[in-house]
Amino acid sequence: MTDYDNTNTGALFKNDDKGSEKYPDYRGSINVNGSEFWLSAWIKTSKRGAKYMALAVTPKNADNAKPKQNIRDDLNDQVPF
């Protein structure tokens, strides 16, 4: 039996834990060219009344993508004399 290849696929599931209107209506994950992302969707209505989904994609390793602050900036150990 061969392993399933989930490259370039994803899935969305209804968000039953929606705390406010800003929370997505659907959430899930997607794989794009071997990279994993979180996928969020909100059900919207256009000015003409047509329903559509607005999407947001965030890398699953978003915490690692943020630039790290230099430790010297944290210390700020200038002593005023």
Tokens linked to 39: 């996928």
Q: Is the pTM value of this prediction over 0.75?
A: no
Per the domain annotation, does 17 fall within a domain?
A: yes
Residue type, 9: T
Tens of pLDDT, residues 26-65: 999 999 999 999 999 999 999 999 999 999 999 998 665 5
Per the domain annotation, does 24 fall within a domain?
A: yes
Provide the number of structural domains found in the chain: 1
Contacts 24+ apart (CB under 8 A), 38-46: 39/10, 39/12, 41/12
Helix (H) or strand (E) holding 11: strand 10-14
Band (4; pLDDT cuts 50, 70, 90):
confident
Per the domain annotation, does 68 fall within a domain?
A: no
Q: In terms of DSSP bridges, do strands 35-45 and 51-59 run parallel, antiparallel, or are they unpaired? A: antiparallel
pLDDT on residue 54: 97
Residue 43, domain extent: 10-61
